[in-house]
Chain A
Amino acid sequence: MLSKNLIAKFAEIAGKNVWTEEEDLMCYAYDASFGEMCVPEIVVKPETAEQVGRIVRLCCEENIPLVTRGAGTNLSGGTLPIKGGCVLLMSGLNKILEINTEDMYAVVQSGVITADLAMAVSAKGLLYPPDPGSMKMSTIGGNVAENAGGLRALKYGVTGDYVMGTKFFDIEGNAVIAGGKTVKMVTGFNLSGLMISSEGLLGVMTEHTLKLVPQPQASRSMLVIYDDLMKASVTVSEIIGAKITPATLELMDRFTIKTVEEGTRIGLPTDADGLLLIEVDGHPAAVEDEYAKIKEICNKLGGKVHIAETLEERDKLWEARRKALSSLARLKPTLILEDATVPRSRIPEMMQCIKDITVKYDLTVGTFGHAGDGNLHPTILTDKRNKDEMVRVEKAIDEIFASALKLEGTISGEHGIGSAKAKYLESEVGAGTIRFMKKLKDGLDPKNLLNPHKMGL
């Protein structure tokens, strides 16, 4: 509990946008991850970057842990205030400051909702490619801090590939300018690179300069249905092996298909064992050529190809994919979504591992994911009140990650480490890397006030 004097100092900076009542605090004790509630001591919502700087400085002076939060849609516990302290809401900094069509970049504040930016950019004939599943809610600041991926990552890359510059405050409240508006820039350390995936541990970002690209002239979307999921997995590696890079290449297993269909009623084939959602885009001639090659590969492996003929049909397909995660949540009270990622050619092996682990621990698991970039989301459906099952769940997660690492993959493709995966980090990167990260963190934030305990730091 903060003293009245201290609360008054916050109020001096952010006016009425300061909350300390227990019912207000309880609304920021969770995020979209599976984890225990962690209650902050104060919640503050600044509306200008200047206010952000002052709040950060105040937290530093008063030794108050500081957790920066956008929309709180993160899935790894990255915004849980584990040590209490202050939750700094960025939803008040929600302005798109510039969309430059000549030099093709956008400058936005951290609290801008990703879909709002995408729409504003699209209205000017350009494309902001990163499209995380949560883009209708999640914020740009959160996307950068977690280096969010998305459905188009296979061809276009992830959020980090579009960050040209970032403005942030260090823990002392000093303004730091990282990167800028030129395509080439090698001024000093790559500080915007450092902020990508930093999960709020190194500073508080307020503004981002983001690269935009021309909108593709043409696209084709298709739904490919398989009676054997493994054949769908093999298709993925064959397409990549044929040196074709679709914009998206998504996979869903039988269980997920059924669940999404029950939730959305868009007409997915519920008797299929697996399906692929594929979109190619670019120059019309290239699109036709790639489409024909993909169709051939799919047919060869027994996939039935359905083309989305209208924009509406295409939107429906992608909407179904975006709702995969939450639709699974209809079935059981507790849902644990994992993010294991392997090199693309190892997808079939990873799918087999997940199948085996599911059987071994007798669990209900729906798997979907960005197969094209190797990023799978095995999603365990359980009930946290069932103690026996939770023990098996934990063991299964350990094995899923161990399998991903054995296949030269990673424990997190796009959701970050946060608090949920902190214990696995060393197994992937080794003790030396952890020491390096710790030294970096200690140097920049000696009192460990910025999002403490995340990544085990």
Chain B
Amino acid sequence: MDELLKELHELEEMMLQCMKCGTCQSDCPLYRTDGRESSVARGKISLLQSVYEGRIENAGRILKHLDQCLLCTRCLKACPSGVKTDEIFLRGREVLRRIKKLPKWQKLILKTAMEKPELMARMAPLMHMGLKFGSKKIKDGIYRPMIPGLGGRNVVEIKSEAFVKKYGGLNRADNEIMRVVFYPGCAVNLIYTEWGTAVVEVLRHFGVSVYVPETNICCGIPAASMGELEMYRNAVKANYDALAVYKDAAYIITSCPTCRYGLYEMGPKQTGAECPLTVVDILVFLEEILSVRLQTGAEGRSTIHFPCHYQDSKKGLVENFVRSSTNTEYMKLDNQSCCGFAGTFSIKYYERSKGFSRSKIEEMKDKKTDKVYIPCPGCAMQLADAAAREGLDAEVTHPVTELYNFIKEIK
């Protein structure tokens, strides 16, 4: 216990920066729903301080409060004092997790996902079959599993073949101008495989050859969010080793902002190692590096959900992309809050997470949108579930799929 307190104490310098001004209240999606200090960053910091200053004896009890954080980093961006809330909460969870261990079954799933990626890929057909038989099809690609405990959640189809199995290796472009690595992440590898296809094919179309790792190693963020920071660090290092092999590649491309955050922003801070290449989101790459101009002809009324981990400075770029490459009427959402997926949050606190997505879907209904562009597979899963639940018949997809559909047509 003394050892743990010492470790928490090491966070003191970072935590003392928090002057409890309460600015974090204005941006915290959780606080905006319950108005409780334990939801917001300054409250959580105060709890950690109370542990090492001896005001709270049973340190394990505060884990549930640290756990109830979306890691959306809105407080980090809003904090004028520059308090590194994400680092504090991740480290805090790690320390407290040692006092209050993860249930064995959760740890097993996590370990499998983190440390046995080949097994995960091999299990895909099984999961695909399980889902088909054990659930009710709601609409194309969306199922409601009959397993109790999922709370009636609608899930997006797990594909029978992992993306890396089909695309692993070098996907050469004609008239090659450059090579990149595409890092699909777990969700694209097993669920939104069509996004992966779109990324690779669109890049090839523009003369970019794409390496796809033969095995997808999880970025580790799910482990980090559950307080298993060592598992996260191992995943980051394993990824760096695997990605360092592609010596003639110029960038690593992702279509998941959380993977980018995990590998490129938080990863170096937590491991002290450097990511071998710059990690760029696919839309940013197409706009800023390839300067792609394509009018796809997609129609309807569209909106964009901006994922929490999407770089703030690039959000305008996504809007430009949708405006310039589709014929859709773009309706900006007033509600720019988190969708509620937030990695493992929606699994642990599904009822709470439903509230965030419900309010967004209500606005989409009001604005009569029939296309929701989401540059993040996690958010897409959450909002696809909410749309099916709340009766919004809208297509939920990544903007890059529009380019791919267009390219397929003109070929």
Q: A interface vs B, CB < 8 Å?
A: 21-24, 26-32, 34, 37, 39, 45, 71-73, 89, 91-92, 94, 111, 113, 115, 134, 136-138, 263-264, 323, 325-327, 329-330, 333-335
A39 near B47 (CB under 8 angstroms)? no
A21–B16 touching, CB < 8 Å: no
Residues of A within 8 A of B17 (CB): 329-330, 333
A115–B56 touching, CB < 8 Å:
no
Q: Which of A30, A115, A264, A333 has a CB less than 8 Å from the CB of B80?
A: A264
Q: Is the CB of B80 within 8 A of A71?
A: no
CA distance A220 to B81 in the complex (A): 30
Chain B residues 2-44 with CB under 8 Å of chain A are 13, 16-17, 19-23, 25-26, 35-38, 43
Given contacts A24-B38, A326-B81, whether A31 and B20 have CB atoms under 8 Å apart is yes
Nearest Cβ on chain A to B145's Cβ, whole angstroms = 30
B50, A26: Cβ atoms closer than 8 Å = yes
Q: Is B332 an interface residue (CB 8 A)?
A: no
Is B61 part of the contact surface with A, judged by Cβ < 8 Å? yes
Question: Which B77-94 residues sit within 8 Å CB-CB of chain A?
Answer: 79-82
A87 CB, nearest partner CB in chain B, Å: 10
Q: Which of A137, A330, A333 has a CB less than 8 Å from the CB of B23?
A: A137
Set of chain B residues within 8 Å of A31, measured between Cβ atoms: 20
Is B47 in contact with A27, judged by CB distance below 8 angstroms? yes
Judge whether B46 is part of the interface by a CB distance below 8 angstroms. yes
Contact A330 B81 (CB under 8 A): yes
Find out whether the CB atom of B79 lies under 8 angstroms from the CB atom of A326: yes
Tell me whether A26 and B19 are in contact (CB under 8 A).
no
Q: Is B56 within 8 A of A22, CB to CB?
A: yes
User: Complex formed: what's the CA distance from A327 to B120 in Å?
Assistant: 46
- Residues of B with C-beta under 8 A to A334: 16, 19
B315 within 8 A of A: no
| Closest Cβ–Cβ distance, residue A444 to chain B (whole Å) | 28
A residues near B36, Cβ cutoff 8 Å: 27, 45, 89, 91
**In the complex, A72 Cα to B35 Cα: how many Å?**
11
Chain B neighbourhood of A22, CB < 8 A? 55-58, 61
Residues of A within 8 A of B26 (CB): 113, 115, 136-137
- Chain B interface size, under 10 / 10 to 19 / 20 to 34 / 35 or more: 20 to 34
Q: Is the CB of A329 within 8 A of B80?
A: yes
- B24 nearest CB neighbor, chain A only: A137
Instruction: Give every chain A residue within 8 A of B81 (Cβ-Cβ).
Output: 263, 326-327, 329-330
Shortest CB–CB separation between residue A91 and chain B, in angstroms?
Answer: 3
Most buried by A among B47, B55, B80: B80
Q: Given the interface contacts A21-B61, A323-B80, does A136 sit within 8 Å of B43 by beta carbon? A: no
Q: Are A32 and B20 in contact (CB under 8 A)?
A: yes
User: Which chain B residues border A34 with CB–CB below 8 Å?
Assistant: 19
Listed by A's residue number, 6 A-B pairs whose Cβ atoms lie within 8 Å are: A22-B57, A32-B21, A89-B36, A111-B35, A134-B22, A137-B22
Instruction: State the B residues within 8 Å of A (CB).
Output: 13, 16-17, 19-23, 25-26, 35-38, 43, 46-47, 50, 55-58, 61-62, 65, 79-82
CB-based contact A29/B82 at 8 Å: no
Known: A26-B46, A27-B36, A37-B50. 19 other contacts (CB 8 A): A22-B55, A23-B38, A23-B56, A24-B38, A29-B55, A34-B19, A37-B55, A39-B55, A45-B36, A71-B25, A72-B37, A89-B35, A94-B35, A136-B25, A137-B22, A325-B21, A326-B19, A330-B17, A334-B19
Closest B residue, CB atoms, query A385: B16
Q: Are A23 and B65 interface neighbours, CB within 8 A?
A: yes
Closest CB in chain B relative to A76 CB, distance in Å: 13
Are B16 and A26 in touch, CB under 8 angstroms? Answer: no
Instruction: Output the residue of B21, B56, B61 with the most chain A CB within 10 A.
Output: B21
B21, B79, B82: which contacts A73 (Cβ < 8 A)?
Answer: B21
- Which residue from chain A places its CB closest to the CB of B62 in the assembled complex? A23
**Docked CA distance A26–B82 (Å):** 23
The CA-CA distance from A138 to B82 in the complex, in Å, is 20
Establish whether residues B82 and A263, one from each chain, have CB atoms under 8 Å apart when the complex forms. Answer: yes
With a cutoff of 8 Å between Cβ atoms, the chain A residues found around residue B50 in the complex are: 23, 26, 29, 37
With a cutoff of 8 Å between Cβ atoms, the chain A residues found around residue B82 in the complex are 263, 330
A-B pairs, top 8 by smallest CB distance, nearest first, are: A91-B35, A326-B80, A27-B37, A333-B16, A136-B26, A329-B81, A27-B43, A329-B19
Contact B47 A136 (CB under 8 A): no
A93 (CB) vs chain B CBs: closest residue: B35
Nearest-neighbour CB distance to chain A for B299, whole angstroms, equals 31
Q: Which of A21, A37, A73, A264 contacts B22 (CB 8 A)?
A: A73
Name which of A22, A138, A263 has the most chain B CB atoms within 10 A of its CB. Answer: A22
Please report the C-alpha to C-alpha distance between residue A26 and residue B46 in the assembled complex, in whole angstroms.
7
